[in-house]
Amino acid sequence: MIPVSMPEGWFQTNLGNITEFTYGESLPERVRSGRGFPVYGSNGIIGHHDSALTKGETIIIGRKGSIGEVHYSPLPCFPIDTTYYIEQFHGMPAKFWFFLLKFSNLGNLNKATAIPGLNRNDAYGITISVAPLSEQKRIADKLDSLLSWVDSCQAHLDRIPQILKRFRQSVLAAATSGRLTEKRKDFHGEWRTCPLGEVITEIRYGTAKKSTYEIKNGTPVLRIPNVVNGRIDATDLKFTYFDKREIGTLSLKADDLLLIRSNGSVELVGRVAIVGPEFEGYMYAGYLIRLRFDTTKVNPRYISLYLSSPAIRNYIELTSRSTSGVNNINSEEVKAIPLELPLLDEQHEIVRRVEVLFAFADRLEARWQSAQVRVTQLTPSLLAKAFRGELVEQDPNDEPAEKLLKRIKVARD
Residue pair 86/97 in contact by the 8 Å Cβ criterion: yes
Q: Give yes or no for residue 113 having a pLDDT over 70.
A: no
Q: Give yes or no for residue 114 having a pLDDT over 70.
A: no
Give percent of the chain above pLDDT 90. 84
Distance CA 145, CA 247 (A): 64
Residue pair 40/66 in contact by the 8 Å Cβ criterion: no
Residue 3's pLDDT is what? 42
Write down the CATH number for the domain with range 192-341. 3.90.220.20
Residue 40: name the closest of 62, 55, 20 by CA: 62
Q: Give yes or no for residue 4 having a pLDDT over 70.
A: no
pLDDT tens figures, 212-233: 999 878 999 999 999 998 999 9
Evaluate whether 14-131 and 192-341 have a shared fold.
yes
Residue type, 357: L
- Of 188 and 206, the structure prediction assigns the larger pLDDT to 206
Q: Give yes or no for residue 186 having a pLDDT over 80.
A: no
pLDDT band at residue 61 using 50, 70 and 90 as cut-offs: very high
CA 40 to each of CA 59, 106, 123, 206: distance values in angstroms, whole numbers, following the listed order = 10, 18, 20, 52
Residue 77's pLDDT is what? 95
- Those residues whose C-beta lies under 8 Å from the C-beta of residue 78, and which sit 6 or more positions away, are 24, 25, 27, 37, 38, 39, 40, 49, 51, 52, 53, 54
Distance CA 102, CA 96 (A): 10
Residue pair 338/345 in contact by the 8 Å Cβ criterion: no
Q: Give yes or no for residue 1 having a pLDDT over 80.
A: no
- Those residues whose C-beta lies under 8 Å from the C-beta of residue 373, and which sit 6 or more positions away, are none
In the chain, count of helices (H) and strands (E)? 9, 22
The residues spanned by each domain of the chain are 14-131, 133-189+346-394, 192-341
Q: Give yes or no for residue 2 having a pLDDT over 50.
A: no
Residue 32's pLDDT is what? 79
CATH architecture assigned to 14-131: Alpha-Beta Complex (3.90)
Average pLDDT, the chain: 93
Q: Give yes or no for residue 143 having a pLDDT over 90.
A: yes
pLDDT tens figures, 321-344: 987 889 999 999 999 999 999 999
Distance CA 68, CA 62 (A): 5
pLDDT tens figures, 254-313: 999 999 999 999 999 999 999 999 999 999 999 999 999 999 999 999 999 999 999 999
Distance CA 336, CA 349 (A): 26
